[in-house]
């Protein structure tokens, strides 16, 4: 497949699907022979993606390192360079693994040693080699990555993810709408109801409730901020509804 390689193209999947990972806690692999670091993250049952941060042997300058996006096929002992298509599809996971390697680097250095060091991207793809660090630096601040340990045994290395949960809202006609992801989970009961309005009207059949539901489905659920508000409403709505119903005036 031919790609129109650009910043907009390589970030397209991430922008379209949205980020899933909120925080990553990791134990990163170190290679004692040269001090390189490696972190991988399984993306399906067949493969993992990740990154290697290693001293750049081609540039004999102090603190010059190479950051290499990689892919591992499960069952194969060695990693391979990740191509443009893999990095585009799993950009979030690759970025998180890159940040894990940087966190491991800082963990093994004193404050004076962990300051500025030059990093270039190692890749057989010329566009990735020239542009990946720009992509990484422009978006890496979105993820919180903590390295809690370093180990030379890959079996002891791991990465634990805190991910966003998907909000699923049931409408009154029993259809299901999958909204954009958010950090809040809806409650399991009465997800199609307008809790507070129902309590205020003392009925689930009042015609004004259809107006509220239509506004929710056609306006709020059409964008990420509205989805967040709906999720928040379903989290606190039942408790507020009980208060309204208890204190309503006949």
Is-contact 199 248, C-beta < 8 A?
A: yes
| Same domain for 156 and 171 | no
Residues 87 and 184 in one domain: no
Q: Which pTM value belongs to this model?
A: 0.65
Domain count, the chain: 2
- For 9-57, the pLDDT digits (tens) are 999 999 998 889 989 999 999 999 999 999 999 999 999 999 999 998 7
pLDDT tens string 86-106: 999 999 999 999 999 999 999
Strands (E) in 164-211, as ranges, are 165-170, 176-182
If asked whether residues 11 and 72 sit together in one domain, one would say yes
Cα 201 to Cα 102: distance, rounded to the nearest angstrom: 57
pLDDT tens, position by position, 173-208: 444 444 444 443 333 333 345 545 555 555 556 667
Last residue of a domain, one of 133, 163, 193: 163
Tokens of 59: 């540039």
Residues 170 and 62 in one domain: no
Which is it for strands 165-170 and 47-55: parallel, antiparallel or unpaired?
unpaired
For residues 176 and 73, membership in a common domain is answered with: no
Q: Are residues 152 and 170 in the same domain?
A: no
Q: Could you tell me if 182 and 212 lie in one domain?
A: yes
Parent domain of 96: 7-163
Residue 2 lies in a domain: no
Return the pLDDT at 198: 55
Contact 22/42 with Cβ under 8 angstroms? no
Task: Based on the fold, state whether residues 220 and 194 are members of the same structural domain.
Answer: yes
Domain boundary among 163, 190, 214: 163
For 39, counting Cβ atoms within 10 Å of its Cβ (0-12 exposed, 13-18 middle, 19+ buried), the class is buried
């Amino acid at each position: 497949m031919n790609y129109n390689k650009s910043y907009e193209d390589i970030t397209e999947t991430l922008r379209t699907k949205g980020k899933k990972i909120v925080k990553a806690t990791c134990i990163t692999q170190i290679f004692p022979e040269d001090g390189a670091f490696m972190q991988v993250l399984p993306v399906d049952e067949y493969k993992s993606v990740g990154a290697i941060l290693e001293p750049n042997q081609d540039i004999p300058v102090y603190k010059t390192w190479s950051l290499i996006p990689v892919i591992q096929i499960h069952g194969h002992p060695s990693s391979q360079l990740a191509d443009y298509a893999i990095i585009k599809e799993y950009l979030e996971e690759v970025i998180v693994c890159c940040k894990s390697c940087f966190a491991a680097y800082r963990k093994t250095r004193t404050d004076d040693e962990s300051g500025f060091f030059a990093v270039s991207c190692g890749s057989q793809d010329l566009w990735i080699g020239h542009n990946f660090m720009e992509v990484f630096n422009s978006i890496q601040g979105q993820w919180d990555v903590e390295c809690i340990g370093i180990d030379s045994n890959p079996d002891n290395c791991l990465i634990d993810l805190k991910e966003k949960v998907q909000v699923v809202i049931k409408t009154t006609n029993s259809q299901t709408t999958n909204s954009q992801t958010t950090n809040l989970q809806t409650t399991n009961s009465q997800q199609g109801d307008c809790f507070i309005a129902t309590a205020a009207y003392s009925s689930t059949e009042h015609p004004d409730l259809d107006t509220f539901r239509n506004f929710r489905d056609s306006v709020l659920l059409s964008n990420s901020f509205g989805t967040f508000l709906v999720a928040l409403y379903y989290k606190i709505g039942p408790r507020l509804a009980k208060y309204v119903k208890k204190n309503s005036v006949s």
